[in-house]
Amino acid sequence: MIIKTAEYLISSPSYKDCPKPDMPEYAFIGRSNVGKSSLINSLANNEKLAKTSGTPGKTQLINHFIVNKDWYLVDLPGYGFAKVSQSQRKSWEKMIEDYLRKRENLVNVFVLIDSRLTPQKIDLEFINQLGEWEIPFTIVFTKSDKNTQLETSRNVKAFLNKMRETWQFLPQHFVTSAVKKTGRDQILALIAELNAS
């Protein structure tokens, strides 16, 4: 897919404030600092589109972008950020759960996993939750440029093996780097395919 335009639209505290659900929508989620905003910028070919930061917890609202005036890209706040109060965490969880379960034009969720890490319980739990809610998703391993290929493929295999303990069929997965743009074309190809179906 060729990206002709990618524009920021709105940041919403609730799914109720999101743009009219009149176009297919794709959301990016994962632990704080996993690289959601960076991946969105890499897809859009615009390093300044979504705000990124070395400090976890940068993205706090539901951020909508519109691509090619044809589909929505959504940058969500990360989960598992330790430095927030219990009540703030609860309200984020509620915001994300409501968005994921009630956003009617949501076509697919991209769940980002740090390719440098061995399988993390919090990611597996989040994925199992998506399964219970019957929300379609794809796994995206991030920051592959920070690892050797061997380490990345070990972590990817270990993660998928862990998933096999609960999942009969594994979802599609991609290995990406926002820096090197690895995996970018594959993700855009999937979105184009889903937009067309």
Binding site for ligand GTP (CB under 6 A): 32-38, 52-54, 56-59, 77-78, 142-143, 145-146, 177-179
Residue number, 58 or 143, with CB nearest to Mg ion: 58
Length of the chain as a residue count: 197
Binding partner at 34 among Mg ion, ligand GTP, none, C-beta below 5 to 8 Å by kind: ligand GTP
Q: Which residue has the tokens 């330790």?
A: 82
- Window 10 to 49, contacts with Mg ion (CB under 5 A): 36-37
Residue number, 59 or 152, with CB nearest to ligand GTP: 59
Whether 37 and 59 have beta carbons less than 8 Å apart is answered as: yes
CB-based contacts of 159, cutoff 8 Å, min separation 6: 113, 119, 123, 139, 141
State the minimum distance, in angstroms, from the CB of residue 144 to ligand GTP: 7
Max Cα–Cα distance, the chain, nearest Å: 44
Whether 191 and 23 have beta carbons less than 8 Å apart is answered as: no
CB-based contacts of 27, cutoff 8 Å, min separation 6: 74, 76, 99, 100, 103, 106, 108, 109, 110
Binding partner at 142 among ligand GTP, Mg ion, none, C-beta below 5 to 8 Å by kind: ligand GTP
- Window 52 to 71, contacts with Mg ion (CB under 5 A): 58-59
State the minimum distance, in angstroms, from the CB of residue 36 to Mg ion: 5
State the minimum distance, in angstroms, from the CB of residue 6 to ligand GTP: 16
State the minimum distance, in angstroms, from the CB of residue 164 to Mg ion: 30
- Summarize as ranges the residues that interact with Mg ion (CB under 5 A): 36-37, 58-59
